[in-house]
Amino acid sequence: MEILDAVVIGAGQAGLSASYHLTRRGIAHVVLDADAAPGGAWQHRWDSLTMRDVHGIASLPDSDSPADEAGRANAVVPAYFGAYERAHRLPVLRPVRVDRVEPAGELLVVHAGERSWTTRTIVNATGTWTQPHVPYYPGIETFRGEQLHTVGYPGPAHFHGLRVVVVGGGASGVQLLGEIAPVAADTLWVTRREPVWRTDEFTPEAGREAVALVEERVRRGLPPASVVSVTGLALRDQERAAEQLGAYRRHPMFTAIEPDGVRMPDGSLWPADVILWATGFRPAIAHLAPLHLRSEHGGIQLDRAGTTAVADPRVQLVGYGPSASTIGANRAGRAAATGVARWLAQSASSAS
Ligand code: FAD
């Protein structure tokens, strides 16, 4: 039976960065990726998202990120990742969807359907895209219109002449309203909390402070908040038309969903054709359940370096919590390779 030193699960920014650093250290590993093609979650982003719209894609280690500003993000980033995998000969196998990771004494067994890999460590890099989150509201199942999540956003033309409720106070809610409001009959923006608008320029210091806040949560074993949720919101030029239409007048959450619309806290009904849930994602970590990594607070507690699971140091998590951005995922890849090397050295010395 072949025993690998590491299995990386997921080949997005985080998984590729981890694989690059494992390769540099000469650590025998494979990368298992559920998608049929390179690109991580980027290959699934909506067509209207251009490279100019994204906040910036951090370069993968030892490469330059794509300069194509006008191109579609769902084409440019996958092409960049694919070229990177080939240039660095990263050992990616796809499509392989991991179902579960089980402990087997000192080792871990990674299962994907009929196939399995035995390894000393894993680096989990499965992102959040496969776990769209839709909160429950009374009557949600009775709505006669259409309900969509950002994960399936079909582009602005789909909303032409419709009455659209956009739920969620994050960056995607703001961006999608900017596209939908100019073509829809009307929009209603509802959020649980008053949105926090950034009044100053987004600086690297502000970014670092935001990441530090999420890091602190994960160190305490709490479920991570999204990094964007703590950086504040800002309108870009392409959102000014929607702003003038009043699309960014925020309303409190509806109290219930009815067949023809949403019931507002003041008792009025807002008739709606579509509810668009821009309510975020959760970490895709169900396959790790047999390892019992969750703390009593519901999150996976990570050590101070930010990638090693406190409950089982054979497990590294990258792209989780504070590292859930392209720059964070990149750095986490290096930290994870260090964590893997540390574990391998420790177990080798305790065996001798
Ligand atoms: P992903 O890119 O999601 O990759 C995960 C990989 O794991 C996928 O290839 C998937 O197939 C695979 N996988 C999942 N489950 C399994 C499984 N069970 N078995 C095997 N493989 C599996 N960040 C920025 O820095 N700048 C931005 O402008 C920006 N814009 C964003 C816009 C949107 C709409 C969203 C949702 C996020 C944005 N982010 C941005 C965040 C950023 O995209 C992510 O933090 C980062 O790309 C995630 O990389 P990742 O490698 O962790 O995950």
Is 85's C-beta closer than 6 angstroms to any atom of ligand 1? no
- pTM for this predicted structure: 0.91
Q: Please tell me the predicted confidence (pLDDT) of residue 226.
A: 64
Residue 164's SS3 state is strand
Q: Summarize the confidence of residues 42-47 as an average pLDDT.
A: 93
Is 325's C-beta closer than 6 angstroms to any atom of ligand 1? yes
Tens-place pLDDT, residues 95-150: 999 999 999 999 999 999 999 999 999 999 999 999 999 999 999 999 999 999 99
For a ligand 1 pocket test, name from 122, 326, 327 the mutation site with the most ligand atoms within 8 angstroms of its C-beta: 326
Longest dimension (CA), the chain: 73
Q: How many angstroms separate the CA atoms of 163 and 160, rounded?
A: 9
Which two tokens mark 78?
């996958």
Question: What's the pLDDT band for 52 if we cut at 50, 70, 90?
Answer: confident
Which two tokens mark 139?
């009557």
Q: Summarize the confidence of residues 308-329 as an average pLDDT.
A: 90
- Atom number in ligand 1 closest to CA 318: 52
For a ligand 1 pocket test, name from 7, 16, 32, 33 the mutation site with the most ligand atoms within 8 angstroms of its C-beta: 33
Ligand 1, atom 45, lies closest to the CA of 325
- Atom number in ligand 1 closest to CA 53: 28
Quote the ipTM score: 0.96
Is 13's C-beta closer than 6 angstroms to any atom of ligand 1? yes
Is 74's C-beta closer than 6 angstroms to any atom of ligand 1? no
Tens-place pLDDT, residues 227-269: 656 667 888 888 999 999 999 999 999 999 999 999 999 999 9
Torsion of CA 271, 275, 279, 284, to 10 degrees: 150
11 alpha carbon – ligand 1 mean position (Å): 9
More confident residue, 348 or 131: 131
> Helix/strand/coil (H, E, C) string of 3-39?
EEEEEEECCCHHHHHHHHHHHHCCCCEEEECCCCCCC
Residue 205's SS3 state is helix
14 alpha carbon – ligand 1 mean position (Å): 8
Say how many Å lie between the first and final Cα of the chain, rounded.
21
Angle between helices 326-351 and 13-24 (to 10 degrees): 40
Is 78's C-beta closer than 6 angstroms to any atom of ligand 1? no
192 alpha carbon – ligand 1 mean position (Å): 25
81 alpha carbon – ligand 1 mean position (Å): 12
Q: Summarize the confidence of residues 298-324 as an average pLDDT.
A: 91
Q: Please tell me the predicted confidence (pLDDT) of residue 235.
A: 87
